[in-house]
Structure 1
Amino acid sequence: MSSDETLVVTTAQEDEEYLFAFKQIMISSIPMVLKATIELGIIKLLSESSAQLSPTQIASHLSIKNPDAAVTIDRILRLLASFSFISCTLMQDKAGRPERRYSLGPRSKHFVKEQGATFVPWLLFLFHKVSLSAWFCLKDVVVQGKGDPFKHAHGSIIFDYTGTDPEYNDCFNNAMKYLSTIYMPKAMDKYHGFKSAKTVVDVGGGVGECLKCILSKHPHLRGINFDLPYVVKNGLSYPGLEHVGGSFVNDPIPKGDVLLLKWQFHSFEDEFGLKLLKNCWNSLPASGKVVIIDPVSPEYPGTDLMTRTTFTSDMVMLGVTPGGKDRTLREVETMARAAGFSSLKVGCRFLNMWALEIYKNA
């Protein structure tokens, strides 16, 4: 009897409601499995292969000696195939038994580690054991307050912790760097907010990947990448790019007519964010502006993909940053005016990010 002939004793609505709930409970397995396939080298192998490979062939190519590896690899890849990360063709082996063969799928292009615009470092950061441990403290933060989940788990905020754990610091910096390779080229295609500037300062710019992208589009600019000394010591070398070590909490922000806050403003609580904006205001000339690149939360929790992505991003801010959150346009404008800025202008949206401009004078 085929599966099509099986007696179904639940209604379509019951199936949908139950399976939706079941999926949400089990969904954490998907990024963990994807992470394992990347670390094993399976995604890289499939990206380099001109033919579909069986699980046995995959295990052989990767020189895995475990005799049961092919069975486990098959179970892993059929899950990813069901979500279109991997493509699968059902064939028969020499004994006439079903055999699945795999290749890269339509949703795999952002998970090939060797490609420039890749989500792999972001995945490895979010599902690093240090990051994951913060989620076990979410309930404690709701009940007790006093800090964020990451601080509850590790005794310090993430930006201090990275200074004590070189491996995790590299993981974090790579995540920020490679996210920039996805987002910033999209922004530079249409956003012209840096065109008339002379000096752009990336406040908390990591190793300088974002400024590199901006300078490649606007080579007339002088770019200053301002971040903590242990971060900028590993900064990128690029024409027009200068690295300056310091803390935007305790040190003056370098002067520039455009200050960039990419994923900085949403990484801190309101009190700190207001202080950061005031420091930016002090470093700007009268005609200067701050460009904020962040997700923007809608007022109403809709069910569309963009809204879900934004609110999921907000949960990452809740879990790992010290009071960070993705704000609404109204909240951004309120804080900007409280810091002394005269007006807010929406530059553009690219993917799930927005470029917002706040001006020192109207």
Structure 2
Amino acid sequence: MEDNMNTASKAMELLGLGPLQMSLKLAIELKLFEIINSSSGPHQSYLSASQIASHLPTSNTSTTSTSLDRILSLLASHSILTTTTDEKGERFYGLTPISTHFVPDQYGASLGPLFMFFHDKVLMESWSYLKDRVLEGSVPFNMAHGMEIVDYMASDERFRRVFNEGLSITQCVKHVPGDMFKGVPNGDIMFMKAQSKGANMEVTNFELGAISGDVTEKGMEDLEKNDDVTVAELEVAEDSKKLLQFCCSPVLTIPYQNLLDLLSWVFILHGFDDEHCVAILKNCWNALPRHGKVLIAEYVLPSTNVSEFPDACRLAFTLDAMMLVYRAGGKERTLVEYEELGKRAGFHGMKAFPCSLGIVAIELQKESS
């Protein structure tokens, strides 16, 4: 009887996932976690709803604080916030280890912008067509908006900005141990990621632990004199030939050295089917010297029973479902699948390293070490 009540309670919680997500979205939009994080009142790092409301752009703080208290209570019930009360029974809210991940860290990165992208109205509308994907093979995003996501990004500046800001999570990939790249001469790595001006190509020297230059700002002839290429053209371009020319040929003319020893792709390959991924990796293979390597940063699906690793794999499966809705060929992959892609492209070795936030760095070696 008790087990049945517990499972029923868990099932009931699923009914409230939507309101919880929208309440968290509100907290991120209004920077509520940042307001609490910067507090230094009599209750230390705790603030009441009325105190938080005083930091918001509203003249009706009384009504705002009442609504906030109800929203913050919901978040606290899911351990996103913690609470304490004073002698009058007024609630005060503080951060928990969960909510701190939505406050920018020392590098300016947090999960907040990525959450806002995941729950943007443009993407949320696509989920109404998930059944069509399963039964008919149609792409839900295309059905919701009448065009592919790459074309929509090009036409909607606001949505493109939300996408760009969401990729601030890539900051955590750059801050990995330097010995991860042992054997790479000079420790010079090119990180290719999508940002506000398309391909933001940075050279990171891990021995110095600092960014040593921005390739885009220094100029590249292979960018066809266009330094304002959109993210859509970089990451989800319909014309794969154009994407390959854009992403891969510039490595031959980077002003720092003739060839970089390691190319890095952050959240790129999961947007393409296997054939496109192999084509991209082959271009990388051709551009690299004999000792060269490619670093792929992605979320990875487990190869074993899903129920054995519920926490570790839940986000990866969530992202895989999102790719099912937004991209015709996009998908998350297992380590075995990434190794197979590398072999098909000519790479002879693979290593995997866990990074922060569940991201896995996969190193493909041009020659076996």
Q: Normalized against structure 1, the TM-score is what?
A: 0.79
Q: Name the structure 1 match of 2:74.
A: 79
Structure 2 CA distance for aligned equivalents of residues 339 and 168 of structure 1 = 34
Among 123, 132, 136, the alignment partner of 2:115 is: 123
Task: Write the deviation string for residues 208-259 of structure 1: whole angstroms up to 9, x where unpaired.
Answer: 7783665684569776469988995399xxxxxxxxxx94334452233322
1:164 to partner: Cα distance: 1.8
- Shift of the 18–229 alpha-carbon distance from structure 1 to 2, 3 Å rule, reads farther
Structure 2 CA distance for aligned equivalents of residues 166 and 83 of structure 1 = 34
The answer to whether structure 1 residue 182 and structure 2 residue 172 are counterparts is yes
1:116-195 map, 5 Å: 116-146=108-138, 148-176=139-167, 178-185=168-175, 187-188=176-177, 191-192=180-181, 195=184
- SS in structure 2 opposite 1:68? helix
Gaps of 5+ in 2: 231-240, 253-258
- SS in structure 2 opposite 1:211? strand
CA contact (8 A) 2:49 2:66 kept: yes
1:26 to partner: Cα distance: 1.7
Q: Name the structure 2 match of 1:253.
A: 249
- SS in structure 1 opposite 2:243? coil
Q: Name the structure 2 match of 1:272.
A: 276
- Shift of the 155–275 alpha-carbon distance from structure 1 to 2, 3 Å rule, reads farther
Give the partner amino acid of 1:162.
M
The alignment yields a C-alpha RMSD, in angstroms, of: 3.3
- Shift of the 194–117 alpha-carbon distance from structure 1 to 2, 3 Å rule, reads farther
Count of residue correspondences: 334
Structure 1 CA distance for aligned equivalents of residues 12 and 226 of structure 2 = 42
Structure 1 CA distance for aligned equivalents of residues 165 and 24 of structure 2 = 18
The answer to whether structure 1 residue 48 and structure 2 residue 48 are counterparts is no
- Matched-pair identity in %: 31
CA contact (8 A) 1:267 1:323 kept: yes
CA contact (8 A) 2:33 2:103 kept: yes
Give the partner amino acid of 1:253.
S
1:87-98 map, 5 Å: 87-93=82-88, 98=89
1:226-305 map, 5 Å: 233=228, 247-251=242-246, 252-254=248-250, 255=252, 256=259, 257-300=261-304, 301=306, 302-305=308-311
Give the partner amino acid of 1:23.
E
Structure 2 CA distance for aligned equivalents of residues 149 and 214 of structure 1 = 42
Q: Name the structure 1 match of 2:339.
A: 333
Q: Name the structure 2 match of 1:238.
A: none
* Range that drifts further, 123-132 or 77-86: 77-86
- Shift of the 57–290 alpha-carbon distance from structure 1 to 2, 3 Å rule, reads closer
Q: Normalized against structure 2, the TM-score is what?
A: 0.78
Structure 1 CA distance for aligned equivalents of residues 153 and 225 of structure 2 = 10
Structure 1 CA distance for aligned equivalents of residues 207 and 3 of structure 2 = 53
Q: Name the structure 1 match of 2:256.
A: none
1:334 to partner: Cα distance: 1.7
CA contact (8 A) 1:258 1:289 kept: yes
CA contact (8 A) 2:189 2:205 kept: no
Q: Name the structure 2 match of 1:57.
A: 51
CA contact (8 A) 1:260 1:292 kept: yes
Structure 2 CA distance for aligned equivalents of residues 258 and 129 of structure 1 = 38
